[in-house]
Amino acid sequence: MTASAPSIERGGLRETHLDWRGLAFHAILLLSLLLSLAILFTLLADVVGRGLPTLLERGGSFLTSPAASNPARAGISQAIFGTLMMAVFVAVFAFPIGILTAIYLEEYAPDNRATRFIAVNIRNLAGVPSVVYGLLGLAIFVIGLEGLTAGRTMIAGGITLAILVLPIVIITSSEAIRAVPQALREAGYGVGASRWEVTRLLVLPAAAPGILTGTVLSLSRALGETAPLVLAGAVLGSFSSGNKDIVDQMFGRYSALPVTVYDWARRPNAEFRELTAAAIVVLLVITLLANAIAIVLRNRTERTW
Amino acid sequence: MSATITAPEPTAPTGDPAIQVAIDSTRVPAMPERTEAAVDLRGVSIYYGAFRAVKDITFDVRPKAITALIGPSGSGKSTLLRSINRMNDLIPGSRLEGEVLYHGQNLYAAGIDPVEVRRRIGMVFQKANPFPKSIYDNVAFGPRVNGMKGNLDDLVEQSLRRAALWDEVKDKLRQSGLALSGGQQQRLCIARAIAVEPEIILMDEPASALDPRSTLQIEELMAELRQRYTIIIVTHNMQQAARASDWTVFMNMGEDRAGYIVERNRTTEIFTNPKDQLTEDYVSGRFG
């Protein structure tokens, strides 16, 4: 064979040709980002532009009035209360059960087929549409356990939402625990710590920022859900809360911000459309607050070392 | 309880501590020969699932001496080392056949608590792994979880002194252990290990990630610790084994990919007068 070996032609060090494909790819990436931002900004601007005047005009009365059929008097006090109570239910039921389940799956359960089967199915549960959880809530908590929940009450809705986000809490907590380096566990076992001590003193502190972030983000997910609550008995329209204390209200009729938004958005009169936008702004503020709390908590628990 | 059977000395020539002292005069004279073995492995095979990682390991570890495990990658040195304090228990599917005798007690017998085993047989890992806690809390962690009585401040100071780290950190005990240099972190891990007053310290390539100066410090520290503790060290560095150990176990990977012991003898013998051709080839750098 006399064919000469391939050689690379060497020119000067000066840039001689434009890398068109590289530039095009760069441009596409930038465009995608700008498109997402534009959509988001348009949505926000539209909602705030329509909702803010109402909020300013009505002022506190919009936040403190109950739902009503007269748009001039309708407010979201019951919806805000309901949404905050939903958060409490999620925090009380989904957080501890979810985090403890994650600890069990990651640190205690034997690594066998049964454990993997359960873990995979928890992931599947997280992908089940929320309306299915609504049906579950209707069947079990509203009808099945009516004796305990008193039917279409705040308790039924709260527990439904807690169950809805439970798989998400488990998954995010599991991932945070799994991200803790094995070397840290080995170091603990190496000085004669038990599994309980390794988990409590080393793994959980290291995983805490991730667990907190995940759980609070799952909380914002729960606060934005509409369909499960509509099925689990949240009130579309106005109802009377009376002057009942908080326990009575838990066993009473309820609504929540996304449900109110859904209800008002369907109404034909234009005034309610303005109210809808105003309610959305309030819901957004509450969700962003929850996310802000997540960030603050994460920064606080994250070791500075 | 103590072992009723004195560990046999299958390969050791009648000790000639003089040779050793001549080679390294900084060394404390070797302990008397006929003492009880610190650990006695008998017919140990270790499996990961169906895979046999090491087979038929039988040797006794001399007390208050440094035993080096050397051999090519895959010969099962770390696996064997981690079986001595039941660290392999943490790996799902791992299983051990044979006996690991410690004071006459099989560590793998039913009813033995691996947590208790690890308190007496401590471990230092390849990559320094301080807890994300202060220097003080790193050392105090073991004594705390083991409910040790007494003055914790004194114990922390004593452990850091023994690990030759005290002078460098005494003014910053509340600072993070992770802020130390690599060599200091590894000495912190050694301090953490000795704070629970173990009898044996296992070291899995403790200096492999360190610069030469830090490596030397660790080796000097080992020579120091040898007065109080039995040390078993896995190393890829043959000079390190030759410099720092009293006994050497040379392992190789068999045809079936299971590690086995080729030769075990005093370090001076292994490096100057190996019995096995394979050992000679390995220590002279012809393979591995």
Residue A120 pLDDT = 93
Answer whether B186's CB lies under 8 Å from B218's CB: yes
Residues 174-213 of B with CB under 8 A from A: 176-179, 189, 192-193, 195-196
Structural domain contains residue A142: yes
- Which domain covers residue B242, as residue numbers? 36-283
Which CATH number does the domain housing residue B94 bear? 3.40.50.300
Residue B285 pLDDT = 85
The string of pLDDT tens digits covering residues A34-74 is 999 999 999 999 999 988 888 888 878 888 888 888 888 88
Helix residue spans in B17-176 (DSSP H): 17-23, 77-84, 114-120, 135-145, 152-162, 166-169
Structural domain contains residue B204: yes
Contact list in B for residue A181 (CB cut-off 8 A) is 129
- Would the pLDDT of A304 be above 60? no
Residue B252 pLDDT = 94
Residue B92 touches partner A, C-beta closer than 8 Å? yes
Answer whether A53's CB lies under 8 Å from A282's CB: no
Mean pLDDT of A197-219: 92
Structural domain contains residue A303: no
Which residues of chain B are under the pLDDT cut of 70?
Answer: 1-35, 288
- Which domain covers residue A126, as residue numbers? 77-256
Out of B90, B179, B196, name the one closest to residue A192 (CB): B196
Q: What is the per-residue DSSP string for A215-246?
A: HHHHHHHHHT--HHHHHTTPPSS----TT--H
Q: Report the residue of A111, A180, A191, A204 to disrupt the B interface, i.e. the one with the largest count of B CBs within 10 Å.
A: A191
Contact list in A for residue B90 (CB cut-off 8 A) is 185-186, 189
Query: Does an H or E element contain A171, and which?
Result: helix A154-178
User: What is d(CA A33, CA A21) in angstroms, rounded to the nearest whole number?
Assistant: 19
Structural domain contains residue B51: yes
Residue B273 touches partner A, C-beta closer than 8 Å? no
User: What is d(CA B69, CA B236) in angstroms, rounded to the nearest whole number?
Assistant: 9
Strands B39-48 and B247-253: unpaired
Domain count, chain B: 1
Q: What is the mean pLDDT of chain A?
A: 88
Q: What is the per-residue DSSP string for A12-49?
A: -SS--S--HHHHHHHHHHHHHHHHHHHHHHHHHHHHHH
CA–CA min distance A186, chain B (Å): 8
- φ/ψ of B183, rounded to 5, equals -65, -40
Mean pLDDT of A154-176: 94
Structural domain contains residue B15: no
| Both structure tokens of A197 | 């001590």
Out of B115, B119, B131, name the one closest to residue A187 (CB): B131
Nearest 10 degrees: Cα torsion B128, B133, B137, B140? -40
Strands B39-48 and B51-61: antiparallel
Structural domain contains residue A96: yes
Comparison of pLDDT for A252 and B80, the residue scoring more: B80
**HSE-CB for B288 with a 13 A CA cutoff:** 23
User: What is d(CA B34, CA B18) in angstroms, rounded to the nearest whole number?
Assistant: 17
The string of pLDDT tens digits covering residues A178-207 is 999 999 999 999 999 999 999 999 999 999
- Would the pLDDT of A171 be above 70? yes
CA–CA min distance A158, chain B (Å): 38
Counting residues of chain A whose pLDDT is more than 70, the rounded percentage is 96
Closest residue by Cα to residue B69 from B58, B78, B60, B82: B78
Answer whether A218's CB lies under 8 Å from A172's CB: yes
Query: What is the DSSP code (8-state) at residue A302?
Result: S
Which CATH number does the domain housing residue A183 bear? 1.10.3720.10
Query: Does an H or E element contain A185, and which?
Result: helix A182-190
Contact list in B for residue A110 (CB cut-off 8 A) is 92
CA–CA min distance A23, chain B (Å): 41
Structural domain contains residue A204: yes
Which amino acid, one-letter code, is at A154?
M
Residue A3 pLDDT = 59
Residue A160 pLDDT = 93
CB atoms within 10 A of CB B29: 9
**HSE-CB for B262 with a 13 A CA cutoff:** 24
Contact list in A for residue B132 (CB cut-off 8 A) is 184, 205-206, 303, 305
Residue B143 pLDDT = 95
CA–CA min distance A202, chain B (Å): 8
Domain count, chain A: 1
Residue A243 pLDDT = 67
Structural domain contains residue B20: no
Closest residue by Cα to residue B259 from B10, B52, B81, B39: B52
Residue of chain B whose alpha carbon sits nearest to that of A202 = B131
Contact list in B for residue A187 (CB cut-off 8 A) is 125, 129-131, 189, 192
Structural domain contains residue A208: yes
Structural domain contains residue A85: yes
Chain A interface residues facing chain B, Cβ-Cβ under 8 Å? 110-111, 181, 183-194, 197, 201-202, 205-206, 303-305
Residue B123 touches partner A, C-beta closer than 8 Å? yes
Contact list in A for residue B195 (CB cut-off 8 A) is 191
